Amino acid sequence: MTRTVALTMLTSFALAFAAAAQGQPAPAPSGPPAPAHSAAPSTYATPIGAPIGLEAAKKVAAAAAAEAVKDHWFMAIAVVDPAGVLVYYQKADTTQNGSAEVAIAKARSSALYKRPTKAFQDAVAGGGMGLRILGLPGAVPLDGGLPLLVEGKLVGAVGVSGDLAENDGKCAAAGAAALAPAAAAK
């Protein structure tokens, strides 16, 4: 007997017992449980490639900065390798000081956990089991950190901070997109 069938039977028995105790007829069983949906592919399996080089990191940061300038946002931008080691960093002159550390933390979080930091933000916003994220060392639950992939391999990550988290994410996406054409040209 599978665990699901056993739990369904136990639940039906408990409902029938509760109804009988109240003098009501037992509810009809609901039938077999619905099959679980298939999960999305795991980011854990993303292979690690050669670390991003300085020129590619500058290109990522330049694209993120161009997006920020276009929208009149003042951003700090960090690019790290797959181990979270800083490769390149830049900050607009009037960026709030706290964003300097946050940009680096977002990039490191994204590289080390192989996922966008928005995934952590969404998990925490969902509450319940999603709050476990707060126990992961270095996990930053704010949009603005994105893994950098070349040919499906993690080569680093970009982190952007300075405005609303969704605007940080928009700039990070522009930076990550700048790396894709260069990788495709190889």
Residue 72 sits in a domain whose CATH number is 3.30.450.150
Distance set, CA 98 to CA 80, 103, 175 (Å):
18, 9, 21
Pair (71, 134) in one structural domain: yes
pLDDT of 182 over the 90 cut: no
**Structural domain of 26:** 3-38
Pair (75, 18) in one structural domain: no
**What percentage of the chain exceeds 90 in pLDDT?**
72
pLDDT of 6 over the 50 cut: no
Strands (E) located in the chain: 76-80, 86-91, 145-150, 153-161
**Confidence grade of residue 16 (pLDDT, cut at 50, 70, 90):** very low
CA distance linking residue 2 with residue 184, whole number of Å = 48
Pair (129, 51) in one structural domain: yes
Closest CA to 99 of 55, 165, 149, 185: 165
Pair (28, 53) in one structural domain: no
Pair (57, 114) in one structural domain: yes
pTM: 0.76
Pair (68, 141) in one structural domain: yes
Query: Which residue type is seen at 6?
Result: A
Pair (80, 101) in one structural domain: yes
Report pLDDT digits (tens) over 21-77.
445 444 454 555 555 556 666 767 899 999 999 999 999 999 999 999 999 999 999
Structure confidence at residue 38 (pLDDT): 63
Structure confidence at residue 180 (pLDDT): 76
Pair (77, 141) in one structural domain: yes
First to last CA, the chain: 54
Pair (98, 17) in one structural domain: no
- Tell me the mean pLDDT in the region 82-105: 97
Pair (51, 33) in one structural domain: no
Closest CA to 86 of 68, 60, 63, 65: 60
Pair (101, 178) in one structural domain: yes
- Whole-number average pLDDT of the chain: 84
pLDDT of 81 over the 60 cut: yes
- Structural domains in the chain (count): 2
Token reading at 95: 């960026």
CA atoms within 13 A on the CB side of 63: 21
Pair (24, 97) in one structural domain: no
Lowest average pLDDT, out of 14-28, 53-67, 83-97, 126-140, goes to 14-28
